[in-house]
Amino acid sequence: MKNVQWTGIHGKEKLEFKDNQELEAYYEEKYSHGGYEGGGCVLYGVNISKLYHEARYRTALHFLEPQPQDVILDAGCGDGGLSIQIAPRCGTVHAIDIAGNALNPEYRSIPNLKFQKMNVEALAFPDAFFDRIVSVETLEHLIDPKKALAEFHRTLKPGGRLVLTYPTVNRTLMQRLQRKLGIGWHLDISEHLTEWTYADVVKHTRAGGFEFLAAEGIAFDFGLFGWPKYKSRLFAQMITKLSLGIRCFPRNSSFVSISFRKI
């Protein structure tokens, strides 16, 4: 597939970290070299990864429903691309990341966007501080994501909303069927320290004291039936658009968005 380009974290050996200091050092180094800019999958000039990323932000905002007076946490904010979309819609957005150099410097002047270097597993905020918390593609990068869920529960107000997006890569019904039949392939992502299914995300979050509200898929998994995507630019655009448009099957989507309420 000479017109398919993978860069960055795909197909590499799984990373291992003995503690959060090593994790912090890794991401500080990563963002000192541009972070995720330019990484991902490009098919015939179509940046598939970018389209998926934009879709994650859209569905996260849809479920988050920020209100004018809300105090919101963007947990694992990266360069702040989602934070700057939340900021005009709420009172204050606190953006945190384990890498102190993650936030795009251009965003530091936004008055109600407060960035701090912070470990998601140990939030330096008081109990019941936030109205809403959003965490996009972060839990899978953590050493102990259940600690993060406990911190989200602690710092959310009673009835507060939690919105998660998570990549259930290679754990969909389609992928499991293909592996059982001995066809298809497994796409490893080196930075993912856990691989939860959609059911795992719901189960662990419920166990952390949250009530499930709603979910939708972000990118429907066609499995091998999506092979035409690799044949031309037109098919790459068409099938990716179709994949991102099928939202009602979170169990068979490569990425999911789920909203919960603190109980």
Query: What is the chain's pLDDT, residue by residue, as a tens digit (263 residues)?
Result: 455 555 567 667 889 999 999 999 999 999 999 998 877 888 899 999 899 999 999 999 999 999 999 999 999 999 999 999 999 999 999 999 999 999 999 999 999 999 999 999 999 999 999 999 999 999 999 999 999 999 999 999 999 999 999 998 667 777 778 777 776 656 678 899 998 999 999 999 999 999 999 999 999 988 888 889 889 999 999 999 999 999 999 999 999 999 999 99
pLDDT of residue 3: 59
Tell me how many degrees the CA angle 103-106-107 measures, rounded to the nearest 5. Answer: 60
How far apart, in Å, are the Cα atoms of 25 and each of 16, 100, 212? 13, 10, 34
Hey, which residues does 40 pair with through a beta bridge?
7
pLDDT of residue 184: 61
CA–CA separation, 212 and 205 (whole Å): 8
Sort 98 into a burial class: Cβ within 10 Å, 0-12 / 13-18 / 19+: buried
Going by C-alpha positions, the residue among 171, 235, 238 that lies closest to residue 198 is 171
Virtual CA dihedral for 32, 34, 40, 44, nearest 10 degrees?
-150
- CB atoms under 10 Å from CB of 169, counted, come to 19
CA–CA separation, 58 and 75 (whole Å): 16
**Taking the model in full, what pTM does it have?**
0.93
pLDDT of residue 1: 44
Q: Are 205 and 149 in contact (CB under 8 A)?
A: yes
* Domains of the chain and any CATH numbers: 4-262 (3.40.50.150)
Residue 170 DSSP class: T
Strands 210-217 and 255-262: antiparallel
